[in-house]
Amino acid sequence: MEKKLLGQGLIKYVSGVILVGLMLFLPAGTLHFPNGWLFMGLLFLPMLGAGFVMYFKNPDLLRRRLNAREKEGEQKLVLAGSALMFLAAFVLAGLNFRFQWTAMPRWLVILGAAVFLLSYALYAEVLRENAYLSRTVEVQENQKVIDTGLYGIVRHPMYAVTVWLFLSMALVLGSLPSLIVMLIYPALLIRRILNEEKVLEEGLPGYREYEKKVKWRLIPFIW
């Protein structure tokens, strides 16, 4: 097995745990933030398992996702906006807990956790279906159009899943201010998708035919 890839993955994983922990618990002013711990567990435990599955089953996919660097200028702006959105949402969640600005009922937090886990499972299914998935907008060597499974329903199932994934984060954290901030995500996503489709139309053989076959980008019968 590739020890370098394993080490790289573990370093990024631990760095992510520390970074998200700081963004949540520092604003909260305490480690006694139950929703924060619930979110950390729901996010990072499945992520660790998925990382090991990719490492053993598809190391090339793991390598691409770890080493991805966005080249498209417009996509860099979208990613920067997304990073600011997450920063604001996590910090507001901590502050919301600290100052008790708003409170969500327990059933809504549980519903959020269920939606989060279901979205995570669907995300894993998308990764299984499409070995060419990258964190960046690009056409890879020998890439083919995937039109089966979830890709037979919408053109961008990964993005569709992340809408539910990210919105449910705010519910798990019990933070209405975070939910309001996360509502920015669909707008950023639309911009990313429109630019990505231009890249795929120009560089991926068969993609224009796929667009005619699968009409909906994100939500069936809507868009």
Per-residue pLDDT tens digits for 8-63:
888 989 999 999 999 999 999 999 999 999 999 999 998 888 888 777 877 877 77
The yes-or-no verdict on residue 137 having pLDDT over 80 is: no
Residue recorded with tokens 């631990």: 14
Q: What is the spatial distance between Cα 18 and Cα 64, in angstroms, rounded to a whole number?
A: 23
Q: Are 126 and 150 in contact (CB under 8 A)?
A: yes
* Count of structural domains within the chain: 1
Residue 84 forms part of a structural domain? yes
What is the torsion angle, in degrees rounded to the nearest 10, for the CA atoms of residue 140, residue 141, residue 145 and residue 149?
-70
- For the record, the structure tokens of 191 come out as 């911009």
| Predicted pLDDT at 125 | 86
Residue 222 forms part of a structural domain? no
Residue 200 forms part of a structural domain? yes
Residue 21 forms part of a structural domain? yes
Any idea what the CATH number is for the domain that residue 100 is in?
1.20.120.1630
Residue 86 forms part of a structural domain? yes
- Domain of 193 in residue numbering reads as 3-213
Residue 219 forms part of a structural domain? no
Residue 11 forms part of a structural domain? yes
Residue 223 forms part of a structural domain? no
Q: In whole angstroms, how far apart are CA 96 and each of 77, 104, 105, 106, 168?
A: 28, 11, 14, 16, 16
The yes-or-no verdict on residue 108 having pLDDT over 80 is: yes
